[in-house]
């Protein structure tokens, strides 16, 4: 039986590239993340891209590279499951199963994930759909909990509004609202939530100040060359700055960054 890795006195930073591209990319990123003493590593092996012509991920090869990085650095691996066909594969390699925004209302996927993880209570990170209300998102989480897995982690990642200055509108209201309505931990993905690397640090500070249990951030050794979401990815130096800034806010609340 696992717990969901979250404690009240901690701020979790889940970081790593948008997509797994190569072992070298993971190694360089992983080293930077490990040097800061962080616990989690993210990276997509199956990428749900808006365009069918964009890079779709390395699939099982990507999962194997993630598990090499896990072995080397001892990270907890977070990666996205896009369909039930890959569920057994995921269970073999992954510590936290991410359900992406585009699948939040794929209820049969949620039920199957909940059933498949009921026994070991492996955490499931449920992103908010960019078209979902908080109520719809919490109900979606109950497809997983009522199928038997109580270890759901919510992740706000921005919603669609009329605003075009940023990729999505990060709904930080959701943090205290979720805290009021639910016992589940909540992360804020400030990379997808803004779409621009330069806005990631201020929104990350704000997310922690609003009471989030952590943040999710995309990091790449060379964002310009990234095969996915380079514009919103921090380079390794920017990521270190983010860590320092988030640490300052966390300390105000007597929380440790992990």
From the list 195, 221, 228, 216, the residue with the least C-alpha distance to 56 is 228
Instruction: From 88-96, 100-108, 178-186, 242-250, give the range in contact with ligand PEP by CB under 6 A.
Output: 100-108
- Any contact of residue 30 with ligand PEP (CB under 6 A)? no
x-or-dash pattern for ligand PEP, window 34-73, by CB under 6 A? ----------x-----------------------------
Q: Which of 229, 235, 242, 257 binds Mn ion (CB under 5 A)?
A: 229
- Any contact of residue 157 with ligand PEP (CB under 6 A)? yes
Nearer to Mn ion, 229 or 235 (CB): 229
- Chain positions 15 to 44 lying near Mn ion, rule: CB under 5 A, are 18
Q: Are 21 and 141 in contact (CB under 8 A)?
A: no
DSSP conformation letters of 171-235:
-TTHHHHHHHH-SS-EEEEHHHHHSSHHHHHHHHHHHHHTT-SEEEEEB-SSGGG-SS-GGG-B-
Q: Are 26 and 50 in contact (CB under 8 A)?
A: no
Nearer to ligand PEP, 18 or 207 (CB): 18
- Any contact of residue 159 with Mn ion (CB under 5 A)? no
Which residue blocks in the chain are alpha helix, DSSP H? 23-35, 60-73, 87-93, 107-116, 134-146, 174-181, 190-194, 197-209, 236-252
Instruction: From 25-33, 95-103, 143-151, 237-245, give the range in contact with ligand PEP by CB under 6 A.
Output: 95-103
- Any contact of residue 214 with ligand PEP (CB under 6 A)? no
- Any contact of residue 90 with Mn ion (CB under 5 A)? no
Minimum CB distance to ligand PEP, residue 189 (Å): 6
- Any contact of residue 170 with ligand PEP (CB under 6 A)? no
Q: Specify the long-range contacts of residues 171-178, CB closer than 8 Å, at least 24 apart.
A: 171/128, 172/203, 172/206, 172/207, 172/210, 174/128, 174/134, 174/137, 175/207, 175/210, 175/211, 175/212, 176/210, 176/211, 177/134, 178/134, 178/138, 178/154
From the list 158, 154, 209, the residue with the least C-alpha distance to 181 is 154
Nearer to ligand PEP, 101 or 255 (CB): 101
Q: Which of 70, 192, 205, 220 binds ligand PEP (CB under 6 A)?
A: 192
Q: Which of 112, 122, 127, 220 binds ligand PEP (CB under 6 A)?
A: 127
Nearer to Mn ion, 192 or 205 (CB): 192
Using CB under 6 A, list all residues that contact ligand PEP. 18, 44, 80, 100-102, 127, 157, 189, 192
């Amino acid at each position: 039986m696992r717990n969901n890795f979250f404690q009240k006195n901690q701020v979790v930073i889940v970081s790593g590239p948008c997509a797994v591209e190569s072992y070298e990319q993971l190694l360089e990123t992983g080293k930077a993340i490990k040097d800061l003493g962080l616990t989690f590593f993210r990276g997509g092996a199956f990428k749900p891209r808006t365009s069918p012509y964009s890079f779709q991920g390395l699939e099982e090869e990507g999962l194997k590279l993630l598990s090499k990085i896990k072995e080397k650095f001892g990270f907890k691996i977070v990666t996205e499951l896009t369909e039930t066909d890959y569920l057994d594969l995921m269970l073999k390699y992954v510590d936290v199963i991410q359900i992406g925004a585009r699948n939040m209302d794929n209820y049969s996927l949620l039920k199957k994930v909940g059933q498949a993880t009921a026994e070991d209570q492996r955490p499931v990170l449920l992103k908010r759909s960019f078209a979902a209300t908080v109520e719809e998102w919490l109900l979606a989480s109950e497809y997983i909990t009522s199928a038997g897995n109580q270890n759901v982690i919510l992740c706000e990642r921005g919603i669609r509004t009329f605003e075009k200055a940023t990729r999505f509108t990060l709904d930080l209201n959701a943090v205290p609202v979720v805290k009021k309505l639910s016992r589940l931990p909540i992360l804020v993905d400030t990379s997808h939530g803004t779409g621009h690397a330069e806005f990631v640090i201020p929104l990350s500070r704000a997310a922690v100040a609003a009471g989030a249990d952590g943040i999710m951030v995309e990091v790449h050794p060379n964002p310009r060359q990234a095969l996915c979401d380079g514009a919103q990815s921090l380079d390794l130096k920017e990521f270190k700055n983010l860590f320092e800034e988030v640490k300052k806010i966390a300390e105000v609340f007597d929380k440790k960054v992990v």
